[in-house]
Copies of this chain bind each other. A is one copy, B any other.
Amino acid sequence: MSLRHATLGLLARRPSSGYDLLQVFEKSLANVWSATQSQLYAELNRLAEAGLVTVSAEGPRGRKEYAITDDGLAELRHWITDVEPAVQRRSDMLLRVFFLGLVRRDEAEAYLRRRGDVFEEETAELTGIADEIADGDDPLAVYGRIALEWGLRYMRMQREWSEWALAELAAAGPVPAESESAESVPAER
């Protein structure tokens, strides 16, 4: 249930409308916690009902500006310091690696090479964001910078891994001669 805390965290910086928050979710927070519009508006209403935020101002076009309450801030701090982060237990990308023995060797290699390219693209994107942060010298952005560094290292690690994996495959011999290679599997049924 972390949409709740992402929302509280953003409102802790400054009071904002659902619309405002949505921009932030789509831009700065997109790689860390994504949220859809319908989800966010519903959550804001739930948070208000729970007393963790209040409508601090109303503007044109039915705009409602929300502010975090003391209860909300307490809940947020509790979540940050006392709740163990959940370990990610799902990776689409890695699941395919497990089953790479079911496709032809060249297809498996193409998969790993393509991963490397994608990680490289992501790195370029993150580097762009890093430059923006470096320009505007906001001292509060120190934790944002730390989060971003995580992303950069993550991508570098994966790039190196994909290269290592390709080398590992090459070392294991060109194409296995036995019956378990992909080409032979269809013939078996």
Interface residues of A (CB under 8 A from B): 2, 5-6, 9, 12, 29-34, 70, 73, 76-77, 79-81, 85-103, 107-108, 110-111, 115, 122, 139-140, 142-147, 149-150, 153-154, 156-158, 160-161, 164-165, 168-169, 172, 176, 180, 182, 185-186, 189
Q: How far is the CB of A84 from chain B (nearest CB, A)?
A: 8
Supposing A77-B103, A143-B97, A165-B146 touch, asked if A32 and B91 sit within 8 A by C-beta, the answer is yes
Contact residues in B for A115 (Cβ distance below 8 Å): 85
Q: How far is the CA of A158 from the CA of B108 in the complex (A)?
A: 27
Contact residues in B for A6 (Cβ distance below 8 Å): 95
Q: How far is the CA of A67 from the CA of B134 in the complex (A)?
A: 56
Between A and B, 25 residue pairs with Cβ closer than 8 Å are: A2-B95, A5-B95, A6-B95, A9-B98, A9-B102, A29-B98, A30-B89, A32-B94, A32-B95, A77-B102, A77-B103, A80-B103, A80-B111, A81-B107, A88-B91, A97-B146, A97-B150, A99-B143, A101-B140, A145-B168, A146-B169, A150-B161, A153-B157, A156-B157, A157-B157
Nearest first, the 10 A-B pairs at minimum CB distance are A85-B93, A9-B99, A157-B157, A85-B92, A34-B89, A97-B147, A100-B143, A146-B165, A32-B94, A86-B92
Q: How many chain copies does the complex carry? A: 2
Q: Given contacts A12-B99, A145-B168, could you give 17 more A-B pairs where the C-beta distance is less than 8 Å?
A: A12-B102, A29-B98, A32-B95, A32-B98, A76-B102, A80-B96, A80-B102, A81-B110, A85-B96, A88-B88, A94-B150, A99-B143, A101-B140, A101-B143, A142-B169, A154-B154, A156-B157
